[in-house]
Amino acid sequence: MGKIDLHPLTIDGRDPAILRGDPITGDRYTSRDFMQKEWDHMWTRIWHVAGRTAELEEPGDYIVHDFMHESVFCVKQQDGSIKAFYNACRHRGMRLVNDASAANAFQCPYHGWVWGTDGVLQYAQDAHDFPQGNPCGTLRLKELRCATWGGFVWYTMDDTAPELLDYLAPMPELYKNYPMDTAVRVFWMKIDLDTNWKFATDNFSESYHTRTAHPQVPPWIDQDVDTARHEMYPGGHGRTVQPMRPSLSDRLPDGMPHPFDYILRQWDIDPDVYPDYETKAMQGWLDLKAAKRRLWRERGYLHYEHMDDEEITDSPHTVMFPNVTISFLPDNLIFFRTEPHPDDPNKCTFDLWCMAFPVEGQTEVESIMAGRQPLREAEMQHRAFDNGRGVPEIEGQIVYQDMMLAEGQQRGMHSRGYEDAYLTGQETRVRFFHEVLNDYLEGRR
């Protein structure tokens, strides 16, 4: 493999020397005061994902994003742009919409005011009876800044926040080769979990847990710490780039069918030509790149057109501060997000969106988090985790294994025996995440 040019914003994600060493104490996961600080100083200042641009095709299409006690809706405009509004009637505060749909205007269910899709009041009963003057045509719903990237619709409650692309930097540049707008959300589940939202960002910021929690992964994604790249960026984001080839230190027993053999055969490579396991893992991975380069067009993998040699075989697992993780895979995107419960720091919701890049001729896709799915936009399913019983469709999947651990860790965070994390170098991003969070809470950002 050639030398990788790191983005100039990249910070070494295994070097704790660049950190202050702020302790990751249990109260950060359990305290209502801390939760309130996160709302006051962080959640009201970052960019949130409201949904997919594919949900807003026609003027009047809208999506709703409830976040803690707040609610925002985003509406497609006649000119093709998207506006975001607080979901509260300016008359006396009534919530205007509940679920995504389409509308020509929004009529408030309380006193019947009608708001245009552009947020301007169109109708109020007894419009002459306002001492302050008729509000129709002038009063507007309170608007938020809205922008798109990656096929996602984002908004921020902060008028002074950086532009979305600056906030996300350098992600838009790093992932410019992926046709993210065309990804189809083939599986969409929201799961109520009894753990603090930060569990997921912590968990997705390291692969140290993989061998224990996900023993099925090392045979096809190299989990060896020294072969991955661990990167952090000043905005609080980070990623681990792992080669999608067998880890040399995790061999399946001889005679057991190997998932890498299956991948090689898919691209016309005979796994039996390699003299030994090491050669198959290392040379087979290079041969796989070459085969994909040679065959992508005739196989209908048109999304490979602009992707580089790393992107067509490997897996950059990416956390965008504070709560969005996207696993970029050659043919899939997996979006994970946790959001806090409105009142209880011991609870959150976990969003799992499995997205696939369409391949010509394929009507089904293989999602590594949700198994085989038809290639079409999925409906959202909302479930309680219930110790795994609530989500049988994903039992045994990687993300299910993470969730099975989450609630136990949350209980441990309440213990007097837990004081601070005792981290490996490869978990540096975990403390980095908490330090960036502290920067928000303590007014340094």
The residue among 22, 43, 440, 16 whose CA lies nearest residue 232 is 16
Q: Where are the alpha helices (DSSP H) in 225-348?
A: 259-266, 277-299
**Binding piece for ligand FES, criterion CB under 6 A, among 72-80, 106-114, 250-258, 350-358:** 106-114
Map residues 330-369 to x or -, x wherever contact with ligand FES holds by CB under 6 A: ----------------------------------------
- Name the segment binding ligand FES (CB under 6 A); options: 27-35, 89-97, 137-145, 287-295: 89-97
Specify the stretch interacting with ligand FES by CB under 6 A; choose among 22-30, 85-93, 240-248, 346-354.
85-93
Per-residue interface string for the shown chain with ligand FES, residues 112-141, x marking contact by CB under 6 A: xx----------------------------
Task: State the Cα torsion 52-405-232-150 to the nearest 10°.
Answer: -10
Judged by CB under 6 A, which stretch of 22-30, 103-111, 237-245, 353-361 contacts ligand FES?
A: 103-111
User: What does the block give as tokens for 49?
Assistant: 């994902």
What is the C-alpha separation between 205 and 320, in angstroms, rounded? 10
β-strands 184-193, 381-384: how paired?
parallel
CB nearer to ligand FES: pick between 5 and 126 = 126
- Among 17-25, 107-115, 162-170, 413-421, which window interacts with ligand FES (CB under 6 A)? 107-115
Instruction: In angstroms, give the least distance from the CB of 93 to ligand FES.
Output: 6
3-state helix, strand, coil in the chain (%, to 5): 30, 25, 45
Pick from 9, 94, 100, 423: which binds ligand FES (CB under 6 A)? 94
What minimum distance in Å lies between the beta carbon of 87 and ligand FES?
11
Distance CA 80, CA 437 (A): 35
Interface with ligand FES includes 91 (CB under 6 A)?
yes
Q: Six-digit token pair at 4?
A: 């990788």
Contact between 92 and ligand FES by CB under 6 A: the answer reads: yes
Number of shown-chain residues binding ligand FES (CB under 6 A): 9
Closest to 66 (Cα-Cα) out of 346, 320, 345, 351: 351
- Omega of the bond leading into 322 within 30 degrees of 0 (cis): yes
State in angstroms the smallest separation of the CB of 76 from ligand FES.
23
Sheet architecture: strand order including 121-123 = 105-107, 114-116, 121-123
Amino acid at 92: R
Upper half-sphere CA count for residue 381 (Cβ side, 13 Å):
18
Residue among 112 and 374 whose Cβ is closer to ligand FES: 112
Strand partners, 116: 105
Q: Is 400 in the site for ligand FES (CB under 6 A)?
A: no
335 within 8 A of 351, measured Cβ to Cβ? yes
Of the candidates 49, 64, 89, 174, which one interacts with ligand FES according to CB under 6 A? 89
Is 187 a binding residue for ligand FES by CB under 6 A? The answer is no
* Choices 26-34, 105-113, 188-196, 386-394; region in contact with ligand FES by CB under 6 A: 105-113
Residues in contact with ligand FES by CB under 6 A are 89, 91-92, 94, 108, 110-113
